[in-house]
Amino acid sequence: MSMKFREGTNPMSMNRSRWKTILTSVFLLIAIAVCDVRAASALPSGKVIAIPAFARKYGLPCSACHTAWPELNNFGQVFRDNGYQLMNDRDSPIWQNPSYFPISFRITPSWHRESTNNQQVDAVPGNGLGDGIGSYTQAGFDLSGMDLWSAGTLYKNISFVLLPSSDPTAVWHFESAFIRFDNLHGSSWLNIKFGRFELDNLISEKRFLFLSNNGGLYQIYHFNVPGDSNNFGYGDNQIGVELAGHSANSYTRYSVSFLSSNEGGVNFTTDVVPNAPPANRSYDVNLAFSQAFNAPGPPGESGFGQERVGAFAYIGQRPTYYQTEDGVPLVGLGNKPFFRIGFAGDLSYKNLELMPLFMYGHDNPYLGTVLPSTAPLPTGAQAPTFYGGFLEAHYYFNPQNVALARFEQINVGQQSFNNVSAGASGSNGNITAFSFGYRWYPIMFSRAGVALDAEYSRVRTIGQEPLSGDGDGTVGVPNAAVWSSSIYFGIDFDF
């Protein structure tokens, strides 16, 4: 743990925080031990009547495509890269039973507790003045949003994804919707995707294993320097067209995406919900490349597993002012650039999987200062930058039991102004986060899956509200650390 972490302004002492972590770990281990892991370690056997939709098509268990559902393994990656085709006769829609429709549902009932300190709250609870500083805590049973996932082939080498997704209150949007033309000219190196989709991230946030408010996002995929007008998030789905290719076993992969500069928004806006701010008229580009190889093990052993490393770059633009009518913004103008670059890995050592990622972000000073590009930059204005990353670890006891941990650190390299006012901090916005959890998959059929998920996550954000949205919206002591923690139990199921 870094010195920075120790020096945080967490009102709890470091010792106490450490004990919390240790105690939680111990209790988790006890809980696991209480269960008969040996009994739980094999797939349910015998003639279990499962939901047969996928079974009718391919007959593969979840674990064939997922290291731990929903994270893909290399077989699943190849299946996805081939346009949801296994490249045998069963890919064709004609093999599907007429009553078959490739659709699945995912939702997670849960109990969770969210607590955030350094919040502006009533000094005397209920006085309505918001005149004090304290913690804001909520706990109870809850629901996640819901995914209504449909994907498959329309024809040989023409595939699709349609993913309407709702928040917990059933407000829907199209998370993903695209058609993909696969294996053009008979080559796996030429595939074109058209629509709204996740960027070709080596480490996918859409398919990861954490669910809690604070742990359920990669902070750096959504980070921008405080005060910056840039709304870009590397983990957010974007809209446009993607050219991608891969070797036969997907060990080598590349993609080039040409995207609207509107954060995946629809209807010429910057979001997928009604009344979002209008978009500009420019385009962004995302580049991704990765290479995998097999790491040999000691003589007589079966090797360490597959190792994958990759790099990415996103070059984009965002507007600095709007054409308006009666003050109502119509279209973004005065575009200024930004970029994100980084590298990532997915490394295996037998049952241990390590996923490191590093990212550097750089925005134009106009985006950082929120000034129209037609205006001169004020003295001290500079390009906001940040850097950081995470290291995530999974340990697979077997295909049905996986322990998780992640540590993440983001530092602001350069604030938008170099002449920060007295009392302001150059580290404003810095984030330190750690999460750990355990997922157990008692059911892993070819179509239905159930995972029991337990997590603990803790995030420290300097002078800002946590990206999870926890907290009451107003930091109590400016420039001081805000700690937010999540405790989470959920039953994640997919039908």
Partner 1 sequence: MTLQKFAVTFALGSVVLLTAGATSLTAQSHVNPPDPLLGTPSVTSETSHIDGLTGNAEGGKMLYVRFCIGCHGPDGNGQGMNAQWIDPQPRDFTEATFKCRSTPTGTLPTDDDLYNAITRGFVTTNMPPWRPLSPQQRADLVAFIKTWSPRWAKEKPGTPLNIPPETPVTIESILHGRELYQKLECWKCHGPEGHADGPSAATLTDSKGNPIKPFNFSTGDRFMCGDTNRDLYRIFMTGLDGSPMPSFADVIQPNDAWDLVHFLRTLQVALPNQELTLWQSYKAAHGKDLKPIGPDSAGGAQ
Give 324's contacts (C-beta < 8 A, 6+ positions apart).
330
Quick check: 58 binds partner 1 (CB under 8 A)?
Answer: yes
Q: Which of residues 197-256 bind partner 1 (CB under 8 A)?
A: 248-250
111 binds partner 1 (CB under 8 A): yes
> How do 431-444 and 449-462 pair as beta strands?
antiparallel
Which whole-number Å values give the CA distances from 215 to 14, 219, 437, 468, 488, in the listed order?
20, 9, 9, 8, 10
The residue from 133, 179, 391, 491 that contacts partner 1 (CB under 8 A) is 491
Span of 68-76, 207-215, 363-371, 414-422 interacting with partner 1 by CB under 8 A: 68-76
**How many residues make contact with partner 1 (CB under 8 A)?**
74
Binding region for partner 1 (CB under 8 A) out of 108-116, 155-163, 207-215, 470-478: 108-116
Give me the residue label for tokens 């480490």.
203
* DSSP for residue 22: H
Smaller CB separation from partner 1, 6 or 18: 18
- Contact region for partner 1 (CB under 8 A) — 13-21, 195-203, 328-336, 378-386? 13-21
| Residue given tokens 């240790």 in the structure block | 22
Q: How far is the CB of 116 from partner 1 (least distance, A)?
A: 13
Q: Does position 446 bind partner 1 by CB under 8 A?
A: yes
| C-beta neighbour count of 261 within 10 angstroms | 24
Minimum gap (Å) between residue 11 Cβ and partner 1: 13
- From the list 289, 172, 286, the residue with the least C-alpha distance to 239 is 286
Q: Is 412 within 8 Å of 455 (Cβ atoms)? A: no
Q: Is 186 or 423 the residue whose CB approaches partner 1 more closely?
A: 186
CA distance 467 to 254: 30
Q: Does 404 bind partner 1 (CB under 8 A)?
A: no
C-beta closer to partner 1: residue 300 or 423: 300
Of 4, 56, 222, 281, the one binding partner 1 by CB under 8 A: 56
Q: Could you say which of 9, 231, 282, 398 contacts partner 1 (CB under 8 A)?
A: 398
136 lies in the binding site for partner 1 (CB under 8 A): no
- Please say which residue, 105 or 111, places its beta carbon nearer to partner 1: 111
5 binds partner 1 (CB under 8 A): no
Among 3, 13, 15, 49, binds partner 1 (CB under 8 A): 49
Q: Which stretch binds partner 1 (CB under 8 A): 80-88, 151-159, 172-180, 181-189?
A: 80-88
**Minimal distance, residue 113 CB to partner 1, in Å:** 7
Q: DSSP for 154-170, please give it.
A: EETTEEEEEEEEE-TT-
Interatomic CA distance for residues 473 and 146, integer angstroms: 25
277: closest CA among 249, 247, 318? 318
223, 467 in Cβ contact below 8 A? yes
Tokens of 178: 């695209």
Q: Residues near 94 by Cβ (< 8 Å), separated by ≥ 6?
A: none
Q: If binding is defined by CB under 8 A, does position 52 make contact with partner 1?
A: yes
Reduced to 3 states (helix: H, G, I; strand: E, B; else coil), residue 140 is strand
Residue 313 or residue 354: which is nearer to partner 1 going by CB? 354
Residue 442 lies near partner 1 (rule: CB under 8 A): yes
Of the ranges 109-117, 164-172, 377-385, 403-411, which one interacts with partner 1 (CB under 8 A)?
109-117
